[in-house]
């Protein structure tokens, strides 16, 4: 279900009087969970700064200097430069203090105040203002095309008092949009602010479904974008396929960093094999590595089979090769867990047997059906 907080729709939020802060409704775009809401906190020393959410998941902090009784999801009128705007309460209390410390924002006079809770007339006027966004977006894209500017306009956010509009764009290089601002200000009769965003932020504002089947992380909960390199894919033994490693923004997926530390810790016990292992049977080359099972698979040049070797045995063979010695084989004569590796190697054979049995049963069923059809057709003809 969509809501008017983000670009997912214009429908009203269903559910309880919490205005969509629970799981009964809402768009779940950059939602937060107040885990201190059910705890008895001192009312006297309550933190007077509130976190508000605006269009596209953008958040900012404002002071509740008048001590208004606010609930998560309430629409409030706030002070902005040269006017006022409407935001929605997303978080309040001690968690806001922690968020400000995390983002290194000081609680000083630079934080603007909340005027009041938005009335019905304020919300109706804001809805009328937001209807200008899509026509303005299409017209601005046409003007950008006429001016031949190398920039991509992705979203527009109008201020609630209809005096200012923020244009979000992305570009690879620096863009001279002074002429564009003059044309937009003269045509739409508003103050224009151009704000450049990265491709990851653009994907977060637009939203979408990832290859995993879930909503994009950047549009639901991820706000800090860390750099992602191809080395993260190499450490996790992923194929360096750009179409599979890149997200909808065209950059490497942010989720490549989620399990990277776990892989880095597991790789500390795995030796680096820069050259083939030499045995009396021949040279064995590394084919693949099972990082968490601590097993490395090697194969000889004249054989198609791969042999699983534990990492401690690989280290022993490497040390023997450095001294000029050749072991009889990759595996020891009596290694612990040898049956386990043989079982790993026979998984494919078991799957082949099951598949062959299923295909035989299907063929028998099909043959029976054909025979019954032929018999029925012969009886009807007679």
Q: Which helix or strand (DSSP H or E) is residue 2 part of? A: none
Q: When comparing pLDDT for 274 and 6, which is higher?
A: 274
| pTM for this entry | 0.70
Q: What residue segments make up the domains of the chain, in order of their start? A: 1-123, 132-201, 226-267, 270-345, 353-382
What confidence tens digit (pLDDT) does each residue in 158-175 have? Answer: 999 999 999 999 998 899
What confidence tens digit (pLDDT) does each residue in 296-338 have? Answer: 999 988 788 888 999 999 999 999 898 888 888 888 643 444 4
Q: Which fold has domain 132-201?
A: GMP Synthetase; Chain A, domain 3 (3.30.300)
What confidence tens digit (pLDDT) does each residue in 117-130 have? Answer: 999 999 999 999 99
What confidence tens digit (pLDDT) does each residue in 87-110 have? Answer: 999 888 888 998 899 888 998 888
């Amino acid at each position: 279900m969509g809501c008017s907080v983000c670009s997912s729709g214009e429908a009203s939020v269903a559910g309880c009087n919490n205005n969509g802060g629970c799981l009964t409704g809402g768009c779940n775009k950059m939602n937060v969970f107040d885990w201190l809401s059910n705890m008895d906190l001192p009312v006297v020393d309550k933190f007077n700064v509130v976190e508000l959410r605006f269009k596209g998941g953008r958040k900012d902090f404002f002071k509740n200097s008048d001590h208004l009784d606010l609930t998560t999801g309430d629409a409030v009128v706030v002070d902005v430069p040269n006017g006022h705007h409407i935001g929605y309460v997303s978080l309040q209390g001690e968690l806001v203090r922690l968020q400000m410390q995390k983002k290194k924002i000081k609680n000083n006079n630079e934080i603007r105040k909340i005027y009041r809770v938005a009335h019905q007339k304020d919300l109706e006027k804001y809805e009328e203002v937001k209807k200008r966004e899509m026509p303005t977006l299409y017209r601005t894209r046409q003007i950008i095309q006429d001016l031949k500017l190398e920039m991509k306009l992705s979203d527009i956010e109008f201020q609630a008092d209809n005096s200012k509009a923020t244009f979000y764009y992305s570009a690879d290089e620096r863009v001279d949009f002074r002429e564009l601002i003059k044309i937009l200000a003269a045509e739409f009769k508003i103050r224009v602010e151009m704000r450049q965003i990265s491709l990851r932020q653009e994907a977060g504002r637009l939203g979408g479904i990832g290859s995993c089947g879930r909503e994009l992380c950047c549009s639901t909960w991820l706000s800090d974008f860390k750099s992602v390199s191809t080395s993260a894919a190499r450490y996790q033994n992923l194929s360096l396929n750009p179409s599979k490693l890149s997200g909808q923004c065209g950059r490497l997926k942010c989720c490549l960093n989620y399990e990277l530390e776990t892989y880095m810790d597991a790789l500390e016990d795995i030796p680096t094999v820069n050259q083939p292992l030499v045995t009396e049977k021949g040279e064995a080359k590394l084919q693949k590595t099972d990082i968490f099972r601590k097993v490395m698979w090697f194969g000889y040049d004249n054989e198609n089979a791969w042999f699983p070797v534990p990492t401690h045995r690989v280290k022993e063979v490497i040390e023997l090769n450095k001294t000029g010695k050749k072991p009889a084989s990759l595996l020891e004569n009596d290694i612990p867990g040898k049956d386990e590796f043989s079982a790993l190697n026979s998984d494919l054979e078991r799957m082949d047997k099951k598949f062959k049995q299923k295909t035989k049963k299907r063929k028998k069923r099909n043959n029976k059906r054909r025979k019954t059809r032929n018999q029925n057709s012969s009886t009807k003809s007679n």
